[in-house]
Structure 1
Amino acid sequence: MPKAKQKQRRRKFNYNINRKKLNKAARKKAAPRIKCSQIRHAWDRSKTVSQNLAEMGLAVDPNKAVPIRKAMKMDVDDQETKTKIVRKPYVINELEYEASLPEKKSETLSKDLIDYVQHMIRNYGENFKKMARDEKNYYQDTPKQIKRKINVYKRFYPEEYQAFIDSLKQEKMDEQ
Protein backbone atom coordinates (compact mmCIF):
# COMPACT_ATOMS: atom_id res chain seq x y z
CA MET A 1 0.00 0.00 0.00
CA PRO A 2 1.43 3.45 -0.89
CA LYS A 3 2.43 5.87 1.85
CA ALA A 4 0.97 9.33 2.23
CA LYS A 5 2.98 12.02 0.47
CA GLN A 6 3.35 14.17 3.60
CA LYS A 7 5.05 11.39 5.50
CA GLN A 8 7.81 11.11 2.93
CA ARG A 9 8.66 14.81 2.98
CA ARG A 10 11.51 16.01 5.17
CA ARG A 11 10.38 17.98 8.23
CA LYS A 12 11.69 21.55 8.51
CA PHE A 13 12.49 23.23 11.80
CA ASN A 14 10.13 26.07 12.62
CA TYR A 15 12.14 28.99 13.99
CA ASN A 16 9.04 31.08 14.75
CA ILE A 17 7.93 28.92 17.69
CA ASN A 18 9.18 29.58 21.21
CA ARG A 19 10.04 26.08 22.48
CA LYS A 20 10.51 27.19 26.09
CA LYS A 21 7.03 28.69 26.16
CA LEU A 22 5.56 25.56 24.58
CA ASN A 23 7.20 23.25 27.13
CA LYS A 24 6.04 25.44 30.01
CA ALA A 25 2.47 25.41 28.70
CA ALA A 26 2.57 21.63 28.20
CA ARG A 27 3.86 21.06 31.75
CA LYS A 28 1.18 23.33 33.17
CA LYS A 29 -1.51 21.55 31.16
CA ALA A 30 -0.26 18.10 32.19
CA ALA A 31 -0.21 18.96 35.92
CA PRO A 32 -3.44 17.98 37.69
CA ARG A 33 -5.82 20.80 38.62
CA ILE A 34 -6.19 21.09 42.40
CA LYS A 35 -9.85 21.80 43.15
CA CYS A 36 -9.38 22.79 46.80
CA SER A 37 -8.56 26.51 46.72
CA GLN A 38 -6.72 26.49 50.08
CA ILE A 39 -4.31 23.76 48.98
CA ARG A 40 -3.93 25.26 45.49
CA HIS A 41 -2.81 28.64 46.86
CA ALA A 42 -0.30 27.08 49.25
CA TRP A 43 1.10 24.64 46.66
CA ASP A 44 4.77 24.94 45.65
CA ARG A 45 5.41 23.51 42.17
CA SER A 46 9.10 23.01 42.85
CA LYS A 47 8.41 20.50 45.67
CA THR A 48 7.03 16.98 45.61
CA VAL A 49 3.49 16.06 46.63
CA SER A 50 4.59 14.56 49.94
CA GLN A 51 6.74 17.61 50.76
CA ASN A 52 3.90 20.01 49.98
CA LEU A 53 1.35 18.10 52.04
CA ALA A 54 3.78 17.68 54.95
CA GLU A 55 4.33 21.45 55.05
CA MET A 56 0.57 21.97 55.19
CA GLY A 57 0.18 19.41 57.97
CA LEU A 58 -1.73 16.96 55.78
CA ALA A 59 -1.02 13.28 55.24
CA VAL A 60 -0.15 11.68 51.91
CA ASP A 61 -0.96 8.17 53.10
CA PRO A 62 -3.58 7.91 55.87
CA ASN A 63 -2.36 4.41 56.76
CA LYS A 64 1.07 5.77 57.65
CA ALA A 65 -0.34 8.85 59.39
CA VAL A 66 -2.47 6.81 61.81
CA PRO A 67 -1.04 3.30 61.84
CA ILE A 68 -2.68 0.38 63.60
CA ARG A 69 -0.29 -0.46 66.42
CA LYS A 70 0.12 -3.82 68.06
CA ALA A 71 -0.21 -4.08 71.85
CA MET A 72 3.43 -5.03 72.58
CA LYS A 73 5.08 -2.29 70.52
CA MET A 74 2.76 0.45 71.73
CA ASP A 75 4.96 1.49 74.68
CA VAL A 76 8.07 1.77 72.52
CA ASP A 77 6.29 3.68 69.71
CA ASP A 78 4.87 6.30 72.07
CA GLN A 79 8.39 7.39 73.02
CA GLU A 80 9.61 7.56 69.42
CA THR A 81 6.91 9.86 68.02
CA LYS A 82 8.38 12.33 65.57
CA THR A 83 7.22 15.91 65.65
CA LYS A 84 6.76 17.24 62.12
CA ILE A 85 7.03 20.96 61.52
CA VAL A 86 3.94 22.47 59.92
CA ARG A 87 5.06 25.54 57.98
CA LYS A 88 1.64 26.40 56.55
CA PRO A 89 -0.89 25.90 59.37
CA TYR A 90 -3.33 28.37 57.82
CA VAL A 91 -4.31 25.70 55.26
CA ILE A 92 -5.57 23.36 58.00
CA ASN A 93 -7.30 26.23 59.79
CA GLU A 94 -9.13 27.26 56.61
CA LEU A 95 -10.12 23.66 55.83
CA GLU A 96 -11.45 23.14 59.38
CA TYR A 97 -13.40 26.40 59.21
CA GLU A 98 -14.95 25.43 55.87
CA ALA A 99 -15.86 21.97 57.19
CA SER A 100 -17.54 23.49 60.27
CA LEU A 101 -19.94 25.62 58.17
CA PRO A 102 -23.48 24.22 57.86
CA GLU A 103 -24.30 22.63 54.54
CA LYS A 104 -26.70 24.57 52.33
CA LYS A 105 -29.87 22.87 51.16
CA SER A 106 -29.40 22.58 47.43
CA GLU A 107 -32.24 20.21 46.61
CA THR A 108 -35.18 21.85 44.88
CA LEU A 109 -38.09 20.70 42.78
CA SER A 110 -38.68 21.66 39.18
CA LYS A 111 -41.29 24.26 38.31
CA ASP A 112 -43.13 21.66 36.20
CA LEU A 113 -43.45 19.26 39.14
CA ILE A 114 -44.72 22.03 41.43
CA ASP A 115 -47.34 23.06 38.83
CA TYR A 116 -48.35 19.41 38.37
CA VAL A 117 -48.80 18.84 42.12
CA GLN A 118 -50.74 22.08 42.57
CA HIS A 119 -53.02 21.21 39.64
CA MET A 120 -53.76 17.78 41.12
CA ILE A 121 -54.49 19.14 44.60
CA ARG A 122 -56.59 22.00 43.22
CA ASN A 123 -58.80 19.67 41.16
CA TYR A 124 -58.97 16.50 43.27
CA GLY A 125 -57.95 17.34 46.84
CA GLU A 126 -56.82 14.05 48.40
CA ASN A 127 -58.38 11.65 45.88
CA PHE A 128 -55.29 9.99 44.40
CA LYS A 129 -57.24 7.49 42.27
CA LYS A 130 -58.90 10.33 40.35
CA MET A 131 -55.52 12.08 40.04
CA ALA A 132 -54.13 9.00 38.32
CA ARG A 133 -56.89 9.22 35.67
CA ASP A 134 -56.31 12.94 34.99
CA GLU A 135 -55.26 14.02 31.48
CA LYS A 136 -52.28 15.98 32.84
CA ASN A 137 -50.83 12.76 34.24
CA TYR A 138 -48.57 12.41 31.19
CA TYR A 139 -46.22 9.88 32.75
CA GLN A 140 -49.11 7.69 33.91
CA ASP A 141 -48.15 7.86 37.56
CA THR A 142 -49.94 5.47 39.87
CA PRO A 143 -51.90 6.85 42.84
CA LYS A 144 -49.01 5.95 45.18
CA GLN A 145 -46.49 7.75 42.96
CA ILE A 146 -48.65 10.87 42.89
CA LYS A 147 -49.03 10.72 46.68
CA ARG A 148 -45.25 10.45 47.01
CA LYS A 149 -44.74 13.49 44.77
CA ILE A 150 -47.22 15.51 46.83
CA ASN A 151 -45.44 14.48 50.05
CA VAL A 152 -42.09 15.53 48.57
CA TYR A 153 -43.60 18.91 47.70
CA LYS A 154 -44.94 19.23 51.26
CA ARG A 155 -41.52 18.38 52.71
CA PHE A 156 -39.49 20.76 50.52
CA TYR A 157 -41.85 23.74 50.59
CA PRO A 158 -43.95 23.54 53.78
CA GLU A 159 -44.75 27.29 53.92
CA GLU A 160 -45.63 27.46 50.23
CA TYR A 161 -47.82 24.36 50.54
CA GLN A 162 -49.66 25.80 53.55
CA ALA A 163 -50.25 29.09 51.72
CA PHE A 164 -51.55 27.16 48.70
CA ILE A 165 -53.99 25.12 50.85
CA ASP A 166 -55.17 28.30 52.62
CA SER A 167 -55.81 29.99 49.26
CA LEU A 168 -57.84 26.95 48.14
CA LYS A 169 -59.93 27.13 51.32
CA GLN A 170 -60.45 30.85 50.75
CA GLU A 171 -61.62 30.20 47.16
CA LYS A 172 -64.14 27.61 48.40
CA MET A 173 -65.45 30.09 50.99
CA ASP A 174 -65.86 32.78 48.33
CA GLU A 175 -67.80 30.41 46.04
CA GLN A 176 -70.35 29.59 48.75
Structure 2
Amino acid sequence: MPKDVKKRGGPKYVNRRNKAKYLQKKENKKKLSKSQVPIIKYNWDETKTPRENIQDMGIAFDPNEVVKMDSGRKEIIDAVPIEGEDNLEPVKPEKKVTRRPKNQKQADYIVQRLEEEAKEANDKIAGQNRKFRLFHRETELCVYMLARHGDDFQAMTRDPKNLWQYTPKQWAKKIRTYQDSEMCKFIDSV
Protein backbone atom coordinates (compact mmCIF):
# COMPACT_ATOMS: atom_id res chain seq x y z
CA MET A 1 0.00 0.00 0.00
CA PRO A 2 1.22 3.47 -0.76
CA LYS A 3 2.02 5.84 2.11
CA ASP A 4 0.16 9.07 2.67
CA VAL A 5 1.74 12.36 1.76
CA LYS A 6 3.97 13.61 4.55
CA LYS A 7 2.48 16.56 6.38
CA ARG A 8 4.64 19.47 7.41
CA GLY A 9 4.21 21.38 10.73
CA GLY A 10 2.18 20.65 13.82
CA PRO A 11 -1.54 20.52 14.35
CA LYS A 12 -3.38 23.70 13.38
CA TYR A 13 -5.79 24.37 16.23
CA VAL A 14 -6.31 27.16 18.73
CA ASN A 15 -6.66 26.25 22.35
CA ARG A 16 -9.79 28.31 22.96
CA ARG A 17 -10.12 27.24 26.57
CA ASN A 18 -6.84 28.86 27.58
CA LYS A 19 -7.71 31.96 25.56
CA ALA A 20 -11.03 32.22 27.40
CA LYS A 21 -9.22 31.82 30.74
CA TYR A 22 -6.79 34.56 29.80
CA LEU A 23 -9.59 36.93 28.78
CA GLN A 24 -11.53 36.17 31.97
CA LYS A 25 -8.49 36.92 34.15
CA LYS A 26 -7.92 40.15 32.24
CA GLU A 27 -11.56 41.17 32.81
CA ASN A 28 -11.34 40.30 36.52
CA LYS A 29 -8.25 42.52 36.87
CA LYS A 30 -10.23 45.39 35.38
CA LYS A 31 -13.06 44.78 37.84
CA LEU A 32 -10.63 44.79 40.78
CA SER A 33 -9.58 48.34 40.01
CA LYS A 34 -13.16 49.64 40.00
CA SER A 35 -14.11 50.63 43.51
CA GLN A 36 -17.63 51.34 44.70
CA VAL A 37 -16.40 54.23 46.86
CA PRO A 38 -16.86 57.41 44.79
CA ILE A 39 -13.76 59.27 45.99
CA ILE A 40 -11.50 56.28 45.27
CA LYS A 41 -13.16 55.77 41.90
CA TYR A 42 -12.61 59.44 41.01
CA ASN A 43 -8.91 59.46 41.98
CA TRP A 44 -8.05 56.08 40.43
CA ASP A 45 -5.27 56.21 37.84
CA GLU A 46 -5.48 53.44 35.22
CA THR A 47 -1.77 53.72 34.39
CA LYS A 48 -0.69 52.72 37.91
CA THR A 49 -0.88 49.38 39.65
CA PRO A 50 -3.52 48.92 42.35
CA ARG A 51 -0.84 49.04 45.06
CA GLU A 52 0.55 52.35 43.74
CA ASN A 53 -2.95 53.82 43.45
CA ILE A 54 -3.91 52.88 47.00
CA GLN A 55 -0.63 54.10 48.46
CA ASP A 56 -0.87 57.42 46.60
CA MET A 57 -4.29 57.91 48.17
CA GLY A 58 -2.76 57.44 51.61
CA ILE A 59 -4.59 54.19 52.28
CA ALA A 60 -2.95 50.96 53.41
CA PHE A 61 -2.88 48.36 50.65
CA ASP A 62 -1.87 45.60 53.04
CA PRO A 63 -2.80 46.23 56.68
CA ASN A 64 -0.23 43.67 57.83
CA GLU A 65 2.56 45.91 56.51
CA VAL A 66 1.25 48.99 58.31
CA VAL A 67 0.35 47.53 61.69
CA LYS A 68 2.98 45.13 62.87
CA MET A 69 1.75 42.43 65.21
CA ASP A 70 4.02 40.54 67.54
CA SER A 71 3.82 36.90 66.71
CA GLY A 72 3.40 34.61 69.67
CA ARG A 73 6.35 32.58 68.49
CA LYS A 74 9.68 32.85 70.16
CA GLU A 75 13.00 31.76 68.83
CA ILE A 76 13.51 28.15 69.78
CA ILE A 77 17.27 28.32 69.85
CA ASP A 78 18.82 31.22 71.71
CA ALA A 79 22.00 32.63 70.28
CA VAL A 80 24.81 31.37 72.44
CA PRO A 81 28.28 32.77 71.87
CA ILE A 82 30.71 30.23 70.50
CA GLU A 83 34.30 30.15 71.64
CA GLY A 84 36.35 32.44 69.46
CA GLU A 85 33.39 34.59 68.35
CA ASP A 86 32.30 37.44 70.60
CA ASN A 87 29.26 38.98 68.90
CA LEU A 88 26.86 36.41 67.64
CA GLU A 89 23.52 37.99 66.79
CA PRO A 90 20.80 36.39 64.72
CA VAL A 91 20.49 37.80 61.23
CA LYS A 92 17.30 39.86 60.89
CA PRO A 93 15.70 40.35 57.50
CA GLU A 94 15.54 43.91 56.23
CA LYS A 95 12.22 45.66 56.66
CA LYS A 96 10.27 46.66 53.61
CA VAL A 97 10.15 50.38 53.11
CA THR A 98 6.68 51.51 52.15
CA ARG A 99 6.54 54.24 49.59
CA ARG A 100 5.22 57.64 50.67
CA PRO A 101 2.37 59.17 48.66
CA LYS A 102 3.48 61.58 45.95
CA ASN A 103 0.79 64.14 46.66
CA GLN A 104 0.45 64.34 50.45
CA LYS A 105 -2.37 66.94 50.38
CA GLN A 106 -4.49 64.76 48.10
CA ALA A 107 -3.79 61.68 50.25
CA ASP A 108 -4.78 63.56 53.42
CA TYR A 109 -7.98 64.82 51.78
CA ILE A 110 -8.97 61.33 50.59
CA VAL A 111 -8.33 59.76 53.99
CA GLN A 112 -10.30 62.55 55.69
CA ARG A 113 -13.27 62.07 53.33
CA LEU A 114 -13.25 58.29 53.84
CA GLU A 115 -13.21 58.72 57.61
CA GLU A 116 -16.13 61.18 57.40
CA GLU A 117 -18.14 58.74 55.26
CA ALA A 118 -17.45 55.90 57.70
CA LYS A 119 -18.51 58.08 60.64
CA GLU A 120 -21.73 59.10 58.86
CA ALA A 121 -22.52 55.45 58.11
CA ASN A 122 -21.93 54.48 61.76
CA ASP A 123 -24.12 57.36 62.97
CA LYS A 124 -26.85 56.34 60.55
CA ILE A 125 -26.77 52.73 61.80
CA ALA A 126 -26.65 53.82 65.45
CA GLY A 127 -29.67 56.08 64.94
CA GLN A 128 -31.85 53.20 63.87
CA ASN A 129 -33.56 51.22 66.59
CA ARG A 130 -33.37 47.57 65.80
CA LYS A 131 -36.75 45.89 65.92
CA PHE A 132 -37.08 42.22 66.70
CA ARG A 133 -40.19 40.38 65.71
CA LEU A 134 -41.54 37.01 66.66
CA PHE A 135 -43.67 34.79 64.50
CA HIS A 136 -47.42 34.90 65.15
CA ARG A 137 -47.35 31.42 66.70
CA GLU A 138 -44.45 32.34 69.00
CA THR A 139 -46.26 35.52 70.08
CA GLU A 140 -49.32 33.49 71.03
CA LEU A 141 -47.09 31.05 72.91
CA CYS A 142 -45.37 33.88 74.83
CA VAL A 143 -48.74 35.39 75.80
CA TYR A 144 -49.93 31.98 77.01
CA MET A 145 -46.72 31.27 78.96
CA LEU A 146 -46.70 34.70 80.62
CA ALA A 147 -50.35 34.32 81.63
CA ARG A 148 -49.81 30.79 82.94
CA HIS A 149 -46.31 30.92 84.51
CA GLY A 150 -45.34 34.58 84.83
CA ASP A 151 -41.52 34.89 84.93
CA ASP A 152 -40.85 31.26 85.91
CA PHE A 153 -38.83 30.05 82.92
CA GLN A 154 -38.20 26.62 84.46
CA ALA A 155 -41.96 26.01 84.55
CA MET A 156 -42.21 27.15 80.92
CA THR A 157 -39.74 24.46 79.86
CA ARG A 158 -41.84 21.76 81.56
CA ASP A 159 -45.14 23.00 80.08
CA PRO A 160 -46.80 20.53 77.65
CA LYS A 161 -47.20 23.31 75.07
CA ASN A 162 -43.41 23.67 74.86
CA LEU A 163 -43.35 21.50 71.73
CA TRP A 164 -40.01 22.85 70.50
CA GLN A 165 -38.37 22.09 73.86
CA TYR A 166 -37.00 25.55 74.48
CA THR A 167 -34.56 25.88 77.37
CA PRO A 168 -35.04 28.44 80.18
CA LYS A 169 -32.51 30.79 78.55
CA GLN A 170 -34.31 30.53 75.22
CA TRP A 171 -37.61 31.31 76.96
CA ALA A 172 -36.06 34.31 78.71
CA LYS A 173 -34.79 35.63 75.40
CA LYS A 174 -38.13 35.06 73.64
CA ILE A 175 -40.10 36.72 76.44
CA ARG A 176 -37.69 39.69 76.46
CA THR A 177 -38.04 40.02 72.67
CA TYR A 178 -41.82 39.80 72.97
CA GLN A 179 -41.93 42.46 75.69
CA ASP A 180 -39.77 44.83 73.61
CA SER A 181 -41.89 44.32 70.50
CA GLU A 182 -44.69 46.58 69.34
CA MET A 183 -47.13 43.63 69.44
CA CYS A 184 -46.83 43.48 73.25
CA LYS A 185 -47.48 47.22 73.55
CA PHE A 186 -50.49 46.85 71.25
CA ILE A 187 -51.91 43.90 73.23
CA ASP A 188 -51.36 45.67 76.56
CA SER A 189 -53.11 48.82 75.34
CA VAL A 190 -56.25 46.88 74.29
Q: TM-score, normalised by structure 2?
A: 0.48
Q: How does 1:42-81 map to 2 (within 5 A)?
A: 42=42, 43-60=44-61
- Contact 2:57/2:110 (CA < 8 Å) preserved in 1? yes
Q: Percent identity?
A: 26
Q: 1:117 aligns with which of 137, 142, 154?
A: 142
The change in CA–CA distance for 1:143 and 1:13 in structure 2 (over 3 A counts) is closer
Residues 40 and 126 (structure 1 numbering): CA distance in 2 closer, same or farther, change over 3 Å? same
Please give the residue correspondences for 1:15-164 in structure 2 after superposition, counting only pairs within 5 Å.
23-29=22-28, 32=32, 37-38=37-38, 41-42=41-42, 43-60=44-61, 84-87=103-106, 91-101=110-120, 102=123, 103=125, 104-105=128-129, 108-111=132-135, 113-154=138-179, 156-157=180-181, 159-164=182-187
More helix by share: 1
8 Å CA contact retained: 2:132, 2:177: no
Residues 1:146 and 1:55: Cα distance change in structure 2 (over 3 Å): same
In 2, the alpha carbon distance for the partners of 1:83 and 1:13 equals 45
Does structure 1 conserve the Cα–Cα contact (< 8 Å) formed by 2:153 and 2:168? yes
* Conservation of the 8 A alpha-carbon contact between 1:54 and 1:86: no
Give how far 1:142 is off. Answer: 3.5
Alpha-carbon distance between aligned partners in 1 of 2:158 and 2:66, rounded to the nearest angstrom: 61
Q: How many residue pairs are counted as aligned between the two chains? A: 140
Offset at 1:128?
3.4
Q: Tell me: CA distance 1:26–1:82, structure 2 relative to 1, closer, same or farther (3 Å).
A: closer
Deviations 1:61-105 (A, max 9, x none): 5577689xxxxxxxxxxxxx9985243666434422322221245
Gaps of 5+ in 1: 1-9, 68-80, 168-176
Instruction: Provide the rounded CA distance (Å) in 2 between the counterparts of 1:164 and 1:45.
Output: 61
* Structure 2 unaligned residues grouped into runs of 5+: 1-10, 69-99
Alpha-carbon RMSD across the aligned residues, in angstroms, is 4.3
